[in-house]
């Protein structure tokens, strides 16, 4: 009877493993965990023969798996869930909608600091007593293991000065001399500050007087006491003394004797203690003056409220500089006062630099910040801060959509049109804006999408009544929109008035701005010095060995780099093909513009903001802060400079190579060109007393899209584009799914994509399945690529059923033994 009873109460847990496997795995819950284990908690389990990983509990039940013997959960890591039920629901939706595994969603969602790491270690087998069986090298390793108790593979490799020690360890294991085990470590480490304080015996006036007198003959100890009292006046203030003082104040660097402090601790005068502190205490805060909305902002605020009474999602279409941020702030305040949480999404880390300081002044410590430039530990603190209720309001980039909110009232997606909201690699290939709408629905919250240049899809939904629509057509403070000047580079080249990439008109205006002590932003959407190098004799071009692209020349690093795989090469002194010394750079990027500005305008203080200059954690902040404080005259940058930055003294924006943006070979080219060029233009003249101007260099000033940009005619652009989208079956009238095959062998990749396309066409029809075709870059990291594009009409096709069919056919290819080793990537709602 006892055995039967025990079987009845045995618990099992379905776990999400952060690995690309297509299902949950069921593990057995040990008896000592059965009362404590909860859905959403982390556990440690063995996956495979040796691997130990962190998993998350998705479900608890009493049904053993039918197809395999369930392993035991090794350890329970959390007393309370680290993942909320809302998150689990969202993870499931993301995995189903974007055709990926829920483990892949967890892997992207959960910060690395919450994932336990395991390391294989080697220890001496105490039962081994046959050292004569060992070689000299094995005996040496065993002696070192005994000395250190355990060693890692890396430590053994260093001992014997070999990179590959697998055979040696295998031999030691085979002779039963050593035992292998997995050491599990928690990655997250709280920030601990060491402090000192007076013991309770020395906080009264009399005791302090006696103590001071007793230290007359030990001046170093007396100096420490005086230093402490100058910072912490403890007389009749025991509470202040409890907080103590950072131990660093009593360091050698500050002229304090370590031994003197140690003596005072031994005497019982001082005591040392540790506290856990926030890693965000040094983020600028302060107080912000009361925000008084303009009439235009008040109207927008009220209209948003009215729309929210009828719609779950509202689009705020406000021109650049219209003051959308002030409206956001009032909405956030209202949501927080109502007791709900708020998520504010931004597309780029660069955007957070300015806006975080501004928002922190309004919302103080209840605001958290979340993006990839933060360390693992910092991201874990935000995660835990939301769970603990410390952070009610979070500003973050796309990954913040997966944070553990449980009471969301409002999600704001600023610059909702930005492609940065779409994740490309690894899976899940989600769009944070679209996930935000679903997440808000799950929380019964509202979503506000904001942009001066909305995506056609969002504007279509607003015009058709699916979303609410609020317009802001005036700039804040009565500032005027900038004036535009189109510079005909074709004409200037004929007249030979161009100086490399700079037209004479652009140079004149740059010089004028410098004279007037006004700032300029120059936009070139290509980093590096030049896109490639070419031999003038034989036409050799610097190309990547791994990808079908040219290598970009980076002058500062004196190297050629592939922007796809990261491959680097030294700059050749002579042509590798013919030996000629006539090798020159072709084209230009941000680095070349910066370099030429130093030559053309030597008095100008120039800064560059692109991926190469902003890799360090605080690089964005330093560049933006210096520009904001007037330490930079000209800021050169890629599209980073186009996104939401607000500088009082910027009166001019210069745009290079607009034609390359306009004529990019994809169906969204006109929309993207309008968005990008309008956004960067909007950085100029954002104050009424400083009119702005925008110079666009183009070989064809008569292009219709440029006319739309100059007139700030978003609606005109939309109405032209939406007709073409409907005619040629593109979003928002269809949903797009791109399927990419990858293989080291071109023929295998092509065959896999061809067979897959045939299977899909048989059910979906030829008009809906396009390809396979090689993409613009046919080979990346020595993998040959082929794309299939699937168009599914919104009104005619059951999207869920179609995706299920597509996934089924993809699995057919992956399990086809005649097509081995092919990788298949599915990108739902590709951009």
Tens-place pLDDT, residues 757-797: 999 999 999 999 998 999 999 999 999 999 999 999 988 88
Q: Are residues 574 and 708 in the same domain?
A: no
Residue 645 vs residue 451, higher pLDDT: 451
Is 575 annotated as belonging to a binding site? yes
Alpha-helical (H) ranges within 20-165 are: 85-97, 102-109, 136-148, 153-160
696: CATH: 3.40.50.300
Q: Are residues 209 and 349 in the same domain?
A: no
Structure tokens at 731: 């979003």
**pLDDT at residue 2, rounded to an integer:** 45
| Residue 776 counted as domain residue | yes
157: CATH: 1.10.10
**pLDDT at residue 40, rounded to an integer:** 96
CA-based nearest residue to 482, from 711, 302, 271, 265 = 711
Is 547 annotated as belonging to a binding site? yes
| Residue 582 counted as domain residue | yes
113: CATH: 3.40.1440.60
| Residue 195 counted as domain residue | no
pLDDT in tens, 294-334: 899 999 999 999 999 999 999 999 988 888 999 999 999 99
Find the largest Cα–Cα distance for the chain.
101
Q: Are residues 314 and 302 in the same domain?
A: yes
Which residues 6+ apart lie within 8 Å of 625 measured at CB?
Answer: 353
Q: Are residues 673 and 653 in the same domain?
A: yes
Q: Are residues 204 and 145 in the same domain?
A: no
Mean pLDDT confidence for 251-269: 81
Cα of 426 vs its chain's centroid, Å = 12
Q: Are residues 236 and 321 in the same domain?
A: no
Structure tokens at 430: 């989600």
**pLDDT at residue 350, rounded to an integer:** 62
Is 830 annotated as belonging to a binding site? no
Is 100 annotated as belonging to a binding site? no
| Residue 369 counted as domain residue | yes
Of 679, 697, 723, which residue sits at a domain end?
A: 723
Average pLDDT in the chain: 88
Q: Are residues 767 and 656 in the same domain?
A: no
764: CATH: 3.30.70.600
| Residue 767 counted as domain residue | yes
Of 117, 135, 155, which residue sits at a domain end?
A: 117
Q: How far apart are CA 515 and CA 53, in angstroms?
A: 62
Q: Are residues 766 and 672 in the same domain?
A: no
| Residue 410 counted as domain residue | yes
pLDDT in tens, 684-712: 877 767 788 999 999 999 999 999 999 99
Q: Are residues 753 and 819 in the same domain?
A: yes
Of 117, 135, 153, which residue sits at a domain end?
A: 117
Q: What phi-psi label fits residue 558: left (phi over 0), alpha (psi between -120 and 50 degrees) or beta?
A: left
Q: Are residues 15 and 135 in the same domain?
A: no
**pLDDT at residue 50, rounded to an integer:** 62
Q: Are residues 375 and 496 in the same domain?
A: no
| Residue 228 counted as domain residue | yes
- Where residue 282 falls among pLDDT bands split at 50, 70, 90? low
- Residue 284 reports pLDDT greater than 60: no
Q: Buried b / exposed e across 237-253, counting CB within 10 Å, b at 16+? A: eeeebeebbebeebeee
Report which secondary-structure segment, H or E, holds 635.
Answer: strand 634-637
631 — phi, psi (to 5°)?
-80, -5
Provide the domain count of the chain: 7
Q: How many alpha carbons lie under 13 Å from residue 829 in its C-beta half-sphere?
A: 21
Q: Are residues 490 and 551 in the same domain?
A: no
State the pTM of this model. 0.83
Between the alpha carbon of residue 343 and those of residues 175, 359, 365, 400, the distances in Å are 58, 13, 15, 8
| Residue 520 counted as domain residue | yes
Q: Containing domain of residue 554, as a range?
A: 530-587
Torsion sign over Cα 638, 644, 647, 651: positive
């Amino acid at each position: 009877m006892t055995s039967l009873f025990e079987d009845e109460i045995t618990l099992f847990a379905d776990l999400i493993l952060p690995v690309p496997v297509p299902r949950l795995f069921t593990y057995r819950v040990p008896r000592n965990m059965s009362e404590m284990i909860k859905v959403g908690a982390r556990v440690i389990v063995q996956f495979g023969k040796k691997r130990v990983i962190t998993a998350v509990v998705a479900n608890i039940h009493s049904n053993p798996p039918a197809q395999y013997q369930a392993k035991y959960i090794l350890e329970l890591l959390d007393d309370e869930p680290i993942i909320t039920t809302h998150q689990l629901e969202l993870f499931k939706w993301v995995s189903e909608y974007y055709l990926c595994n829920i483990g892949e969603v967890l892997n992207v969602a959960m910060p690395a600091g919450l994932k336990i790491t395991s390391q294989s270690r080697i220890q001496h087998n105490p039962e081994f007593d046959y050292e004569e069986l060992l070689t000299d090298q094995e005996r040496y390793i065993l002696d070192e293991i005994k000395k250190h108790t355990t060693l890692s593979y890396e430590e053994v490799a260093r001992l014997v000065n070999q990179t590959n020690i697998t055979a040696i360890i295998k031999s030691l294991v085979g002779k039963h001399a050593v035992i292998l085990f997995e050491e599990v470590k928690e990655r997250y480490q709280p920030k601990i500050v060491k402090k000192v304080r007076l013991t309770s015996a020395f906080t009264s006036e009399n005791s302090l007087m006696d103590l001071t007198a007793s230290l007359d003959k030990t001046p170093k100890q007396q100096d420490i006491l005086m230093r402490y009292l100058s910072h912490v006046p403890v007389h009749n203030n025991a509470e202040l003394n409890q907080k103590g003082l950072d131990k660093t104040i009593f360091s050698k660097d500050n002229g304090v004797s370590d031994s003197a402090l140690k003596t005072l601790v031994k005497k019982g005068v001082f005591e040392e203690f540790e506290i856990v502190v926030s890693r965000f205490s040094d983020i600028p805060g302060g107080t912000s003056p009361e925000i008084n909305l303009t009439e235009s902002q008040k109207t927008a605020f009220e209209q948003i409220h009215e729309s929210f009474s009828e719609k779950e999602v509202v689009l705020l279409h406000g021109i650049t500089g219209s003051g959308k941020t002030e409206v956001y702030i009032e909405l956030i305040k209202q949501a927080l006062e109502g007791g709900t949480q708020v998520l504010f999404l931004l597309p780029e880390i660069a955007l957070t630099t300015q806006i975080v300081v501004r928002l922190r002044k309004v919302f103080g410590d209840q605001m958290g910040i979340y993006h990839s430039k933060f360390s693992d530990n910092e991201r874990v603190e935000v995660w835990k801060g939301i769970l603990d209720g410390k952070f009610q309001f979070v500003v973050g980039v796309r990954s913040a959509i997966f944070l553990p909110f449980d009471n969301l009232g409002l999600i704001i997606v600023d610059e909702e049109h930005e492609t940065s909201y779409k994740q490309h690699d690894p899976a899940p290939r989600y769009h944070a804006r679209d996930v935000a709408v679903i997440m808000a629905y799950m929380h019964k919250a509202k979503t506000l999408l904001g942009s001066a240049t909305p995506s056609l899809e969002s504007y279509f939904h607003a015009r058709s009544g699916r979303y609410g629509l609020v317009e802001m057509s005036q700039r804040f403070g009565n500032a005027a929109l900038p004036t535009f000047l189109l510079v005909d580079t074709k004409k200037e080249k004929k007249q030979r008035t161009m100086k490399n990439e700079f037209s004479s008109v652009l140079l004149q205006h740059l010089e004028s701005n410098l004279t007037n002590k006004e700032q300029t932003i120059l936009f070139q959407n290509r980093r590096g010095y030049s896109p490639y190098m070419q031999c003038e004799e034989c036409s050799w071009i610097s190309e990547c060995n791994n990808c079908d692209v040219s290598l970009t020349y980076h002058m500062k690093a004196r190297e050629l780099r592939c922007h796809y795989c990261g491959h680097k090469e030294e700059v050749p002194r002579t042509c590798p093909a013919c030996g000629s010394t006539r090798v020159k750079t072709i084209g230009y990027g941000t680095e070349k513009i910066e370099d030429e500005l130093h030559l053309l305008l030597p008095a100008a203080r120039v800064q560059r903001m692109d991926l190469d200059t902003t890799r360090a954690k605080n690089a964005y902040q330093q560049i933006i802060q210096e520009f904001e404080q007037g330490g930079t005259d000209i800021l050169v940058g890629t599209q980073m400079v186009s996104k939401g930055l607000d500088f009082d003294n910027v009166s001019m924006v210069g745009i290079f190579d607009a034609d390359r943006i306009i004529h990019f070979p994809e169906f969204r080219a006109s929309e993207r060109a309008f968005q990008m060029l309008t956004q960067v233009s909007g950085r100029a003249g954002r104050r009424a007393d400083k009119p702005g101007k925008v110079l666009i260099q183009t070989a064809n000033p008569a292009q219709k899209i440029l006319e739309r940009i100059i007139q700030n005619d978003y609606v005109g652009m939309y109405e032209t584009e939406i007709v073409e989208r409907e005619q040629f079956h593109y979003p928002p009238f269809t949903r797009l799914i791109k399927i990419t095959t990858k293989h080291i062998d071109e023929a295998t990749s092509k065959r896999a994509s061809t067979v897959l396309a045939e299977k899909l066409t048989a059910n979906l029809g030829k008009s809906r399945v396009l390809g396979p075709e090689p993409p613009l870059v046919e080979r990346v990291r020595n993998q040959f690529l082929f794309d299939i594009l699937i168009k599914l009409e919104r009104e005619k096709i059951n999207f869920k059923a179609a995706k299920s069919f597509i996934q089924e056919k993809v699995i057919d290819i992956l399990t086809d033994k005649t097509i081995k080793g092919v990788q298949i990537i599915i990108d739902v709602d590709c951009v």
